[in-house]
Structure 1
Amino acid sequence: MNEISCKLLVVGGGPGGYVCAIRAGQLGIDTVLVEEEALGGTCLTVGCIPSKALIHVAEEFHRIAQAARNPVAGVRSLGARFDLSEAMTWKDGIVSQLSSGVGALLRKAKVRVIKGRGTFRDGKTLVVATPDGEQFIRAETVVIATGSEPVELPSLPFGGPVLSSTAALSLDALPATLAVVGGGYIGLELGMAFAKLGTTVTIVEAGPRILPAWDEDLTMPVLQNLRRLGIAVMFNAKAEGYADGILSVAQAGSIEEVASERVLVTVGRRPRSRMAGIADLDLAMDGNFLHIDARCHTSMSGVFAIGDVTGEPMLAHRAMAQGEMVAEIVAGHRRHWDHRAMPAVCFTDPEVVSVGLLPDQAAARGATTTASFPFAANGKSLSDHRAEGFVRVISDAEGREILGIQAVGSGVAEFAGEFALALEMGATLQDIAATIHAHPTRGEAFHEASLRALGRALHL
Structure 2
Amino acid sequence: MVVGDFAIELDTVVIGSGPGGYVAAIRAAQMGQKVAIVEKEYIGGVCLNVGCIPSKALISAGHHYQDALDSSVFGVTAENVVLDFAKTQEWKNNKVVATLTKGVEGLLKKNKVEILRGEAYFNDEHTLRVMTEVAAQTYSFKNAIVATGSRPIEIKGFKFGKRVIDSTGGLALPEVPKKLVVVGGGYIGSELAGAYANLGAEVTILEFAPSILPTFEKDMVKLVTDNFKKKNVTIENNAMAKEAVETENGVSVTYEVKGEEKTIEADYVMVTVGRRPNTDELGLESTGVEMNERGLVKVDAQGRTNVKNIYAIGDITPGAALAHKASYEAKIAAEAISGKKVAIDYRAMPAVAFTDPELAVVGLTAAEAKEKGLDVKSSKFPLAGNGRALSLNATEGFVRLITTKDEGVLVGAQVAGVSASDIIAEIGLAIESGMVAEDIASTIHAHPSLAEVTMDTAELALGLPIHA
Q: Normalised by the size of structure 2, how large is the TM-score? A: 0.95
Give a deviation string over 1:201-250, Cα, whole Å, max 9, x none: 00111111111111101211111101111101011111111124321110
Q: Which residue of 1 aligns with 2:455?
A: 447
Deviates more, 1:338-347 or 1:128-137: 128-137
* Structure 1 counterpart of 2:124, one-letter code: D
Task: Map residues 167-246 of structure 1 onto 2, 5 A cutoff.
Answer: 167-243=169-245, 244=247, 245-246=251-252
1:333 to 340, 353, 370: 340
Q: Which residue of 1 aligns with 2:55?
A: 51
* Structure 1 counterpart of 2:188, one-letter code: I
- How far 1:459 sits from its partner (Å)? 0.7
CA distance in 1, matches of 2:345, 2:172: 39
Q: Which residue of 1 aligns with 2:93?
A: 92
- How far 1:131 sits from its partner (Å)? 5.1
Instruction: Give the RMSD, CA atoms, in angstroms.
Output: 1.2
Q: Which residue of 1 aligns with 2:259?
A: 253
Q: Is the 8 A contact 2:55 2:171 kept in 1?
A: yes
Relative to structure 1, the CA distance from residue 131 to residue 105 in structure 2 (aligned partners, 3 Å threshold; closer, same or farther) is farther
* Structure 2 counterpart of 1:425, one-letter code: S
- How far 1:419 sits from its partner (Å)? 1.5
CA distance in 2, matches of 1:215, 1:447: 22
CA distance in 2, matches of 1:217, 1:360: 14
SS of residue in 2 equivalent to 1:99: helix
Deviates more, 1:283-292 or 1:388-397: 283-292
Deviates more, 1:266-275 or 1:276-285: 276-285
Correspondence 1:404 to 2:412: yes
Give a deviation string over 1:241-272, Cα, whole Å, max 9, x none: 11243211100111011221100111111111
Task: Map residues 100-119 of structure 1 onto 2, 5 A cutoff.
Answer: 100-119=102-121
Q: Which residue of 1 aligns with 2:379?
A: 371
CA distance in 2, matches of 1:131, 1:106: 24
1:417 to 403, 415, 425: 425
SS of residue in 2 equivalent to 1:290: coil
Q: Which residue of 2 aligns with 1:123?
A: 125
Give a deviation string over 1:255-305, Cα, whole Å, max 9, x none: 011221100111111111222212343322233210000011101121110
- How far 1:321 sits from its partner (Å)? 1.1
SS of residue in 2 equivalent to 1:28: coil
The structure 1 segments of at least 4 consecutive aligned residues displaced by more than 4 Å after TM superposition are none
1:311 to 302, 306, 318: 318
Deviates more, 1:186-195 or 1:366-375: 366-375
Give a deviation string over 1:395-430, Cα, whole Å, max 9, x none: 112243111011000111111321110100001011
CA distance in 2, matches of 1:229, 1:376: 22
CA distance in 2, matches of 1:109, 1:73: 48
Give a deviation string over 1:131-165, Cα, whole Å, max 9, x none: 55111111011111111111111121211211100
SS of residue in 1 equivalent to 2:73: coil
1:427 to 435, 457, 462: 435
Q: Which runs of 5+ in 1 are unaligned?
A: none
Give a deviation string over 1:49-100, Cα, whole Å, max 9, x none: 0101111111101111123xxx112111114211111111111112111111
Q: Is the 8 A contact 1:339 1:424 kept in 2?
A: no
* Structure 1 counterpart of 2:448, one-letter code: P
CA distance in 1, matches of 2:204, 2:313: 36
Q: Which residue of 2 aligns with 1:272?
A: 278
% same residue: 38
CA distance in 1, matches of 2:330, 2:147: 9
Give a deviation string over 1:177-197, Cα, whole Å, max 9, x none: 000011101001000110111
Task: Map residues 8-47 of structure 1 onto 2, 5 A cutoff.
Answer: 8-47=12-51
Q: Is the 8 A contact 2:415 2:424 kept in 1?
A: no
2:70 to 56, 66, 70: 66
Q: How many residues align structurally?
A: 457
SS of residue in 2 equivalent to 1:418: helix
CA distance in 2, matches of 1:99, 1:423: 32
* Structure 1 counterpart of 2:180, one-letter code: L
SS of residue in 1 equivalent to 2:128: strand
Q: Which residue of 1 aligns with 2:298?
A: 291
SS of residue in 1 equivalent to 2:339: coil
Q: Is the 8 A contact 2:21 2:147 kept in 1?
A: yes
Q: Is the 8 A contact 1:369 1:396 kept in 2?
A: yes
Deviates more, 1:329-338 or 1:25-34: 329-338
CA distance in 2, matches of 1:241, 1:74: 47
CA distance in 2, matches of 1:47, 1:283: 28
Q: Is the 8 A contact 1:121 1:277 kept in 2?
A: yes
CA distance in 1, matches of 2:408, 2:358: 28
Relative to structure 1, the CA distance from residue 173 to residue 279 in structure 2 (aligned partners, 3 Å threshold; closer, same or farther) is farther
CA distance in 2, matches of 1:211, 1:179: 17
Q: Is the 8 A contact 2:366 2:377 kept in 1?
A: no
2:357 to 326, 347, 350: 350
SS of residue in 1 equivalent to 2:158: coil
Q: Is the 8 A contact 1:64 1:79 kept in 2?
A: no
CA distance in 1, matches of 2:332, 2:289: 21
Correspondence 1:322 to 2:324: no
Q: Is the 8 A contact 2:125 2:286 kept in 1?
A: no
* Structure 2 counterpart of 1:110, one-letter code: K
- How far 1:15 sits from its partner (Å)? 0.7
Give a deviation string over 1:8-63, Cα, whole Å, max 9, x none: 01111111111111111122211110000111001011000010111111110111
1:263 to 265, 269, 287: 269
Relative to structure 1, the CA distance from residue 366 to residue 326 in structure 2 (aligned partners, 3 Å threshold; closer, same or farther) is closer
SS of residue in 1 equivalent to 2:82: coil
Q: Is the 8 A contact 1:8 1:30 kept in 2?
A: yes
Q: Is the 8 A contact 2:423 2:450 kept in 1?
A: no
* Structure 1 counterpart of 2:97, one-letter code: V
CA distance in 2, matches of 1:451, 1:426: 17
Q: Is the 8 A contact 1:345 1:353 kept in 2?
A: yes
Q: Which runs of 5+ in 2 are unaligned?
A: none
